[in-house]
């Protein structure tokens, strides 16, 4: 900044402070009221922006949770189907082993139930 610009700036500042000194108490109160009104409007605007950002973040998290849960359900469904297919194939390969096992478990269960 050039010396002339600095001088001009200091003159502007001193003129401003001189004008501020000349204000009446009523004018100062009016200025404060106007400042408070502007502050209230700014605060309302900030509150609205923060609320909108929070809502967006909640929606983003909700979508992520929904996507992740869908992926987990699909994955568990796929694993369950594979396991079921393996069990079915195993039963088809050795049906008598499974029928005998079921029969044996039935006998054991009835023996335990009779004891009580």
Distance CA 10, CA 15 (A): 8
Residue 2 covered by a domain: no
What global pTM score does this model have? 0.45
Look at residue 11 and tell me if it is in a domain.
Answer: no
Asked if residue 47 belongs to a domain, the reply is: yes
> What residues make up the domain containing 43?
20-115
Q: How far apart are CA 85 and CA 100, in angstroms?
A: 21
Measured in degrees and rounded to the nearest 5, phi and psi for residue 104 equal: -65, -45
User: Is 26 among the domain residues?
Assistant: yes
- Note the Cα 62 to chain centre separation in Å: 7
pLDDT digits (tens, 9 = 90+) for 26-72: 888 888 999 999 999 999 999 999 999 999 999 999 999 999 999 99
In a domain? residue 77: yes
How many domains is the chain built from?
1
What is the SS3 string spanning 28-95? HHHHHHHHHHHHHHHHHHHHHHHHHHHHHHHHHHHHHHHHHHHHHHHHHHHHHHHHHHHHHHHHHHCH
Q: What local confidence, expressed as pLDDT, does residue 75 receive? A: 93
| Residue 7, in any domain of the structure | no
Any domain includes 93: yes
CA angle 52/41/43 to nearest 5° reads 55
Domain-located, residue 44: yes
């Amino acid at each position: 900044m050039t010396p002339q610009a600095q001088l001009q700036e200091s003159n502007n500042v001193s003129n401003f402070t001189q004008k501020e000194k000349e204000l009446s108490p009523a004018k100062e109160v009016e200025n404060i009221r106007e400042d408070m009104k502007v502050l209230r409007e700014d605060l309302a605007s900030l509150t609205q922006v923060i609320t909108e950002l929070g809502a967006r973040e909640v929606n983003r998290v909700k979508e992520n949770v929904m996507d992740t849960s869908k992926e987990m359900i699909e994955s568990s469904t796929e694993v369950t189907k594979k396991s079921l297919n393996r069990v079915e194939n195993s039963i088809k390969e050795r049906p008598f082993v499974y029928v005998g096992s079921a029969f044996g478990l039935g006998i054991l269960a009835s023996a335990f139930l009779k004891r009580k």
